[in-house]
Amino acid sequence: MSAGALVTGAARGLGLEIARVLAARGLVVHVTDVDLEAAERAAADLGGTAFASALDVRDAEACRSAARRTAQETSGLSVWVNNAGVLVTGPAWEQSEETRRLMVEVNALGTVNGTLAALEPMRAAGRGHVINVISLAGIVAAPGEAVYGASKHAAMAFSLGTLYDLRQAGVKGIDISCLCPDGIWTPMLFDKLDDRDAAASFAGVLLQPRAVAEAVGRLVDKPRPVTILPRRRGPLLRAIDLWPRLGQRAIGPALAAGRLKQRRMKRRVRKVPP
């Protein structure tokens, strides 16, 4: 029996592409999503030994149960990918408490729950790899995404802090990798072409899901604490972190570029009447 891999938010978009990459590497993929029917369709689409279950990453016990099921139905939980995420744009003061809570609980607490659930069987086995899809929002703050960015910064801090704790405890066979991609053309952005507050998500390089999924595959082969996609964006974002006033001056041109790309993308995807 092959080793198992669990992917959260895997019914569509990036999560499904990640599941495809892992399945191609010979892993038995546990497709999880809050939408059970969609997860089951995705698992059927993957074929082979893939299986599905409903999972709300905000539920710590549900995450532990999913980890146990993966370990039981495979030769062991080898890879857990925390991919599930929620993005709602706009100034924080305009968002409802429910919306703010949703982003923090899915993006940050969901990463905590998934990581800790995965570590239970992984620590027992002495090996494993947790890959957390963070986003560039975990590296640098962006206008229109204050709460989203806060949740991703929290996910980044937790991931690296937990990795350091593992090493301090003498655990060397378990890795935690953070993947920080630029904007990705997935269902998360499909409905934001008219959203001016989402311009920051379009300002950089708009990546295709397959390219990001392949980066996850490379991390499976060679773990790294932090990977930024595209790599050249890293130094610029680090500079903005060091000199926030530089970031403030760059906001206007960056948002203008993002809105221009939104208009171009809208023209590209506009449905032509029959």
The answer to whether residues 121 and 78 touch, using CB atoms and an 8 Å cutoff, is no
Which residues 6+ apart lie within 8 Å of 172 measured at CB? Answer: none
Q: How far apart are CA 5 and CA 32, in angstroms?
A: 11
Residue at 274 is within a domain: no
Q: How far apart are CA 219 and CA 32, in angstroms?
A: 20
Q: Give the model's confidence band at 251: pLDDT under 50 very low, under 70 low, under 90 confident, else very high.
A: confident
Which CATH number covers residue 46? 3.40.50.720
pLDDT of 239 strictly over 80: no
139-186: pLDDT as tens digits: 988 889 999 999 999 999 999 999 999 999 999 999 999 999 998 888
Q: How far apart are CA 155 and CA 114, in angstroms?
A: 11
Respond yes or no: is residue 164 known to be catalytic: no
Residue at 36 is within a domain: yes
Instruction: Give the domain range for residue 86.
Output: 4-269
Q: Give the model's confidence band at 253: pLDDT under 50 very low, under 70 low, under 90 confident, else very high.
A: confident
Residue at 192 is within a domain: yes
Query: Which entry of 51, 148, 158, 202 is annotated as an active-site residue?
Result: 148
Residue at 53 is within a domain: yes
Q: How far apart are CA 155 and CA 105, in angstroms?
A: 11
Q: Count the domains in the chain.
A: 1
Residue at 177 is within a domain: yes
88-101: pLDDT as tens digits: 999 999 999 999 99
Q: Tell me if the pTM is above 0.75.
A: yes
Q: Which two tokens stand for residue 30?
A: 């546990």
Please give, one letter per residue, the 3-state secondary structure of 81-147.
EECCCCCCCCCHHHCCHHHHHHHHHHHHHHHHHHHHHHHHHHHHHCCEEEEEECCHHHCCCCCCCHH
108-126: pLDDT as tens digits: 999 999 999 999 999 999 9
